[in-house]
């Protein structure tokens, strides 16, 4: 049994573990290997989104994913423990709760804030580098505004409402931008004047986020100042007191009131990484030196990835950056190299990452980015930068938890966002009370039941009628378009069936002299047609019909649906039952998502076969309106869906493939 131990469930650790487990499963080596993932928390944290929790744009649950859900149905031992040391000679990881033997060790323990020896910084500032940090900072910000609202002492009030963010790198800029965006919301809630709030971003750097091109850094600077942030560059922090901060610019040291100091000035290796770096060759801030295969230069069965690795790629002057893309790339490389080492097959992969850019968001509405191909990158700002940020996050979630996390992310970032704090301006956030949709749902359901019952009355269950149903409609459209002779169209409309588009053969004849073609656009793969049964000047919405003609659909109808009388009757029975069932489902609010979805499918069928009059298009839009959550108000889904979700998410294969929604 080959044992692999992964220390740390951050970006690199989680991805490396998932990739290893998947490769072993495909190679049918799952029973011959044992993967153990050790972390002190039972969840994986999206560190790049912590500022959104700290400034209350999203809920705290949005930035963490439970490890038991990530690895559900996978042969991975998730162990909650704090690793204290690694005994390399014995190939053993030592934790507070137990010891773990290994044949291969992957160090992905992440980082922690570094304070550079600044007096009082650790004791008196609020870091932002963990889930707990974000929650504590969020509560601190709320407390400051709440207490300031009742404070009568001007000096104390000023202290409470003064915030310093130390650091103008990625984390610092995103945190101060998020805080500046949230401040007007808090001011309104607690009846505080915006001018009474002081927000300062300070750093020894010459400009914000210097890894970006100067043009984008200037955009960041301009945006922050527009949001009311004082941007203080080329100024170092030399001390942090309980309610003060000391700044040094040149030789001058000044002390300022600071009720809250948020520390985002840099990171260093975690405690265990720093301990390991004492036993093997390492570099600055607790990073471990690795070779081209990401092995420790001293221990070939020890691999180091993510923030913990110290490696300079060929042709580069600086070590690879401590960023998420490096964690993703290094995790994939190490998984492949460990497989090669275990199986003895294939060639190990030399690590030569190609990074595709960086981005920083300043609040939920604005961001800047530089990205593209490794050697051909371009600048983005505003909408496009924010779109890229969310797209990249979704790609990551696909790798980690698939569908369920993607839906959760969209929900938190767009569908439930408040105060318009998204780059879409809050347009997709749900504001309409769901009970207002109940009358629409009931009426839509009633119409579907009526349609189904009337088809039964007309004889759809006993005799073939689809030939007349489709023939009359097609003849009507073809006559208006001048494709067939009116006499042929009348013959096609057999008179056996009628619907919203083709009521009788006489309608076809009348269309010849009075009908109007509004447009007929052919896009090769499909054709869109909009016509009126009378002259346009006297048309009403019930005279105008729309059709999307798709050659494949026409072929399917002619060669399958209309192939025999028996098939026609079968399809007619299916349509009648579907209309009645979805109608009852909508009226009762039972399986509303499924009912509304089938309603849309039926409408799509009608649009591509017979066409639809515009006065029935409301059914399409009504189906969309009640599609998600439409049955939770005064409906059976209110009771049924929680029950089904509770049991469905415990189904092994549903958990393994993340086919559920929390």
Environment class of 560 (CB within 10 Å of its CB; exposed 0-12, middle 13-18, buried 19+): exposed
d(CA 387, CA 384): 5
Domains by residue range for the chain, with CATH: 2-111+268-343 (3.50.50.100), 121-265 (3.50.50.100), 438-625 (no CATH)
The enclosing H or E element of 410 equals helix 402-410
pLDDT of residue 500: 38
Kindly report, residue by residue over 475-513, the tens digit of the pLDDT: 899 999 988 766 665 555 444 433 434 443 444 445 445
157-171 burial, b at 16+ Cβ within 10 Å, e below that, comes to bbbbbbbbbbbbbbb
Other residues' Cβ atoms within 10 Å of the Cβ of residue 574: 10
188-207 burial, b at 16+ Cβ within 10 Å, e below that, comes to eeeebeeeebbbbbbbbbeb
d(CA 254, CA 29): 63
d(CA 330, CA 310): 12
Q: Where are the beta strands (DSSP E) in 160-235?
A: 162-166, 198-202, 229-232
Kindly report, residue by residue over 271-282, the tens digit of the pLDDT: 999 999 999 999
d(CA 175, CA 179): 6
The enclosing H or E element of 569 equals helix 565-588
Residues of the chain short of pLDDT 50, as ranges, are 493-509, 511-512
């Amino acid at each position: 049994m080959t044992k692999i131990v992964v220390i740390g469930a951050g970006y690199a650790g989680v991805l490396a573990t998932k990739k290893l487990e998947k490769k072993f499963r495909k190679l049918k080596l799952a029973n011959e290997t044992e993967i153990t993932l050790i972390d002190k928390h039972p969840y994986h944290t999206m560190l790049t989104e912590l500022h959104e929790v700290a400034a209350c744009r999203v809920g705290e649950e949005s930035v963490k994913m439970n490890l038991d859900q990530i690895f559900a149905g996978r042969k991975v031992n998730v162990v909650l423990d704090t690793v204290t040391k690694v005994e390399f000679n014995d190939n053993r990881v030592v934790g507070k709760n137990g010891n773990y033997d290994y044949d291969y060790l992957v160090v992905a323990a992440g980082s922690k804030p570094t304070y550079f020896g600044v007096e009082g910084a650790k004791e008196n500032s609020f870091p932002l580098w963990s889930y707990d940090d974000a929650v504590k900072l969020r509560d601190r910000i709320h407390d400051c505004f709440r207490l300031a609202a009742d404070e009568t002492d001007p000096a104390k009030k000023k202290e409470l409402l003064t915030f310093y963010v130390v650091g103008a790198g990625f984390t610092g800029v995103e945190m101060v931008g998020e805080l500046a965006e949230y401040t007007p919301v808090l001011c309104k809630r607690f009846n505080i004047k915006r001018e009474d709030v002081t927000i300062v971003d300070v750093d020894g750097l010459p400009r914000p986020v210097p890894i970006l091109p100067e043009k984008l850094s200037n955009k960041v600077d301009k945006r922050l100042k527009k949001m009311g942030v004082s941007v203080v560059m080329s100024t170092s922090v030399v001390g942090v007191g309980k309610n003060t901060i000391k700044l040094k610019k040149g030789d001058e040291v000044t002390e300022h009131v600071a009720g809250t100091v948020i520390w985002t000035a840099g990171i260093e290796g975690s405690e265990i990484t720093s301990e390991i770096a004492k036993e093997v060759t390492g570099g600055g801030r607790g990073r471990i030196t690795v070779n081209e295969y990401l092995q420790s230069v001293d221990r070939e069965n020890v691999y180091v990835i993510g923030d913990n690795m110290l490696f300079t790629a060929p042709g580069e002057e600086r070590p690879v950056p401590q960023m998420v893309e490096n964690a993703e790339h290094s995790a994939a490389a190490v998984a492949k190299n460990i497989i090669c080492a275990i199986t003895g097959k294939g060639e190990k992969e030399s690590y030569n990452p190609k990074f595709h850019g960086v981005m920083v968001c300043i609040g939920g509405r604005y961001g800047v980015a530089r990205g593209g191909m490794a050697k051909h990158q371009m600048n983005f700002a505003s909408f496009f930068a924010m779109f890229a940020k969310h797209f990249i996050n979704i790609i990551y979630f696909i790798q980690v938890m698939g569908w369920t996390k993607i839906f959760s992310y969209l929900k938190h970032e767009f569908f439930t966002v408040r105060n318009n704090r998204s780059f879409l301006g809050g347009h997709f956030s749900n504001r309409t009370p769901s009970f207002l949709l109940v009358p629409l749902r009931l009426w839509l359901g009633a119409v579907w039941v009526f349609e189904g019952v009337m088809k039964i009355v007309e004889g759809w269950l006993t005799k073939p009628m689809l030939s007349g149903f489709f023939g009359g409609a097609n003849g009507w459209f073809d006559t208006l378009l001048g494709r067939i002779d009116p006499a042929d169209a009348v013959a096609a409309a057999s008179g056996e069936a009628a619907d919203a588009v083709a009521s009788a053969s006489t309608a076809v004849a009348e269309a010849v002299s009075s009908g109007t073609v509004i447009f007929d656009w052919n896009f090769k793969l499909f054709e869109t047609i909009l016509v009126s049964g009378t002259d346009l000047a006297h048309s009403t919405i019930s005279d105008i019909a729309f059709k999307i003609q798709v050659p494949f659909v026409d072929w399917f109808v002619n060669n399958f649906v209309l192939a025999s009388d028996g098939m026609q009757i079968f399809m007619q029975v299916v349509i009648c039952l579907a209309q009645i069932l979805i109608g009852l489902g909508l009226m009762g609010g039972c399986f509303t998502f499924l009912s509304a979805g089938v309603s849309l499918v039926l409408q799509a069928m009608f649009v591509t076969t017979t066409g639809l009059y515009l006065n029935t298009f409301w059914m399409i839009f009504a189906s969309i309106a009640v599609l998600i959550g439409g049955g939770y108000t005064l409906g059976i889904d209110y009771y049924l869906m929680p029950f089904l979700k509770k049991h469905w998410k415990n189904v092994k294969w549903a958990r393994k493939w993340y086919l559920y929604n929390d």
